[in-house]
Amino acid sequence: MMKEEKNKASSILDMAMLVTPVIMLPQLGESLNTNIPELALSALLGGIGGGIGFVLMWTIKEKQIITKSVALAALFLLFTLGIASQNPQTESAKRALLTCQICGYKAIPSEGVECEVCFIPITETFRQDEGYDSMEEMIVEEQLLFFSIEEDVEVNRPEIYSDGELRYNKDPQWKPMFTMEQYESWLRELEVIEEKIDFEVDTNQ
């Protein structure tokens, strides 16, 4: 009976050694930036994992149960550390998003759709609705507004913008259309407006 139990335990460990790479390797591939569809990439990595698992299983097939257990634990730990250390793929990379002219992040699903970071649509309709005389004026004003009110965001940082679980890459080629003199002047105007509002609130209390 003891021998049967050992054989059963050994078979279970063999199967676990075979299956573990099949399950874990596709998870390691989630951060890869490729043009391969996600389902196809997962299937490919799962197949590679199956091959790795088969080789490992065959290598330790005649080993003692303790040796198999240690090998399986080491394999699982290796994959777990790999998954924990990888950087999750950004929305910009996963969905091939376009660069927003306002904030500079790759966060626009397609032309004419609002940015998922600054929520501004670069469209003629928006320009007219907001009363801008030109697209250039609109872009400059909206850039100044975004960078002056968005916390922890400056012109060239952070390189990755996080909104909860969503992450977007900054386009390294993007440049603002305003000058630093314009930006500093804009900030001074905001300070004057804030002081005026605070004064009116205090006066009315």
DSSP calls for 138-163: HHHHHHHHHHHHSTT-BTTB-SEEEE
Instruction: Note whether 64 and 158 are same-domain residues.
Output: no
Instruction: Note whether 130 and 188 are same-domain residues.
Output: yes
Asked if omega into 172 is within 30° of 0 (cis), the reply is no
Instruction: Note whether 41 and 123 are same-domain residues.
Output: no
Instruction: Note whether 97 and 193 are same-domain residues.
Output: yes
- Does the pLDDT at position 172 exceed 80? yes
Domain C-terminal end among 54, 87, 120: 87
Instruction: Note whether 121 and 82 are same-domain residues.
Output: no
Better pLDDT: 6 or 113: 113
Q: What is the per-residue pLDDT across 21-75, written as a single tens digit (0 to 9) for each? A: 777 777 766 655 556 666 777 777 778 877 887 787 778 777 787 877 777 787 7
- Structural domain harbouring 192: 92-204
- Does the pLDDT at position 19 exceed 60? yes
Into how many domains does the chain fold?
2
Instruction: Note whether 71 and 106 are same-domain residues.
Output: no
Question: Residue 149 corresponds to which tokens in the numbers above?
Answer: 């009110």
Instruction: Note whether 80 and 104 are same-domain residues.
Output: no
Instruction: Note whether 97 and 149 are same-domain residues.
Output: yes
Q: Which of 7-16, 18-27, 90-99 has the highest mean predicted lDDT (pLDDT)? A: 90-99
Q: What is the DSSP letter of 100?
A: P
Instruction: Note whether 82 and 29 are same-domain residues.
Output: yes
Phi first, then psi: give them for residue 33, nearest 5 degrees: -100, 90
Domain C-terminal end among 66, 87, 108: 87
In whole angstroms, what is the distance from residue 177 CA to residue 141 CA? 9
Instruction: Note whether 60 and 107 are same-domain residues.
Output: no
